[in-house]
Chains A and B, each alone.
Chain A
Amino acid sequence: MDSPADSHATPDSAEATAHAPHAEVHAHPTWDTYWKVALILTLITVGEVWAYYVPSFVASRAFVPTLLTMSAMKFAIVVMFYMHLKYDHKLFRALFTGPLLIAATTLVALLFLFGHLTVLRH
């Protein structure tokens, strides 16, 4: 579908998104991408909730890793496509992923420290 909201950013809007001429500028996704992303996010969420209600799957060793993987996929999809990190300047990527990695490493270290990594190991 071709519409104003579908179209790539105009030079005006690209400037308004605060990128100087020499900075990396990439067009944002279109409506066609956005609705597909929403559909994928919904399907993954349905899959997560479905998994929660299958006792044999909950009892299996695959339950926790599967849920964590699905959650990480949703997280990455929103960050890349809705927050436009896939298309934006690499400095923004560093500002986001740097603290995220530090915090995630701290989380794993704390779980080890408190002997509580079993909460993620079914």
Chain B
Amino acid sequence: MSTAATPVPHYTTTGLDSRKIAIWAFIGSECMLFISLISTYLIYKGRSVVGPFPHEKWTDPATGHVLNPILNIPVTSMSTFVLLMSSLFMVLALAAVQNKGRPLPPNAGWWTRKLASSKLWLFMTALAGSTFLGFQAYEFTSFVHEGLTIKTNLFGSSFFTLTGFHGAHVTAGVLWLLSLLGIDQRRGLGPKDALIVDICALYWHFVDVVWIAIFTLVYLIR
């Protein structure tokens, strides 16, 4: 007789699942990583010798070209909004997985049925994450066209390192979400899988809160 299909909880002496403890410990260590990158950005802020600069115009003494402030706040505000909405989609996906299999009320409307669809919300979260990455690719490309690369100045080095690391985390999150969506398509995710979705959700929300800090410290504070 096989017991492979029976999920085995990883309880510890604390009464908590070791996987959930592990993801919180991982998130704590990630806090340290991102704060070290943010520290580097803030320490280097305003110390670039040559432009382009984030918030000020700069005239290239060699060519006489005037370079505008390089940060595009409207575009980044849109991408920030998209990432914030992705967190809402993620909690809806988790709630849908946790409540899978419960009978819908007889008068359940269109929205109630949609709320119960884990596939829809996992897809929406991955889509929002991919949209954020599209905004970031657009931003990086336009910066390079305007003359800012990772080697141009201290701002370029610290900016691309910080936001690049964050983008890599978003990419990992999107791949994780797509793998969950694939599992959901193949065999369906139910209440017994809620923990694996919860762990992915915690990672995703963490990526979101890191961006909340980056958006203010890098983009808005001059």
A interface list, Cβ under 8 A from B? 1-7, 9-10, 12-13, 15-23, 28-31, 34-35, 37-38, 41-42, 45, 48-49, 51-53, 58, 63-64, 67-68, 70-71, 74-75, 78-79, 82-83, 89, 91-92, 95-96, 98-100, 102-104, 106-107, 110-111, 114, 116, 119-120, 122
Contacts and interface: CB of A to CB of B under 8 A. Distances in A.
Given A1-B111, A17-B194, A74-B212, A110 B43 contact: yes
B93 to A, nearest CB: 9
A13 B98 contact: yes
Given A4-B99, A23-B16, A75-B209, A16 B43 contact: no
B21 A95 contact: yes
> A interface, by DSSP: helix, strand, loop or mixed?
helix
B155 to A, nearest CB: 12
A3 B105 contact: yes
Contacts, number: 209
16 contacts: A2-B112, A3-B111, A5-B99, A9-B98, A18-B19, A18-B198, A22-B15, A45-B80, A45-B81, A49-B73, A70-B216, A91-B16, A95-B27, A106-B35, A106-B36, A110-B39
Nearest to A2: B105
A74 to B, nearest CB: 5
A58 B43 contact: no
B222 interface: yes
Contact of A13 (B17, B77, B81, B194): B194
B42 A111 contact: yes
A3 B14 contact: no
Nearest to A11: B191
A35 B31 CA distance: 27
B152 to A, nearest CB: 20
Given A3-B116, A111-B43, A42 B81 contact: yes
B15 A45 contact: no
A106 to B, nearest CB: 7
Contacts of B216: 48, 67-68, 70-71
A70 B150 CA distance: 30
B135 to A, nearest CB: 15
4 A-B pairs closest in CB distance: A18-B17, A23-B15, A99-B28, A5-B115
Interface string B1-39: 000000101110011110111001101110110011011
Contacts of B174: none
Given A16-B195, A95-B21, A49 B9 contact: no
Contacts of B111: 1, 3
Interface string B192-222: 1111001001100110110011011100111
A20 B205 contact: no
A95 B24 contact: yes
B87 A82 contact: yes
Nearest to B45: A119
Contacts of A95: 21, 24-25, 27-28
B188 interface: no
A91 B15 CA distance: 11
B90 interface: yes
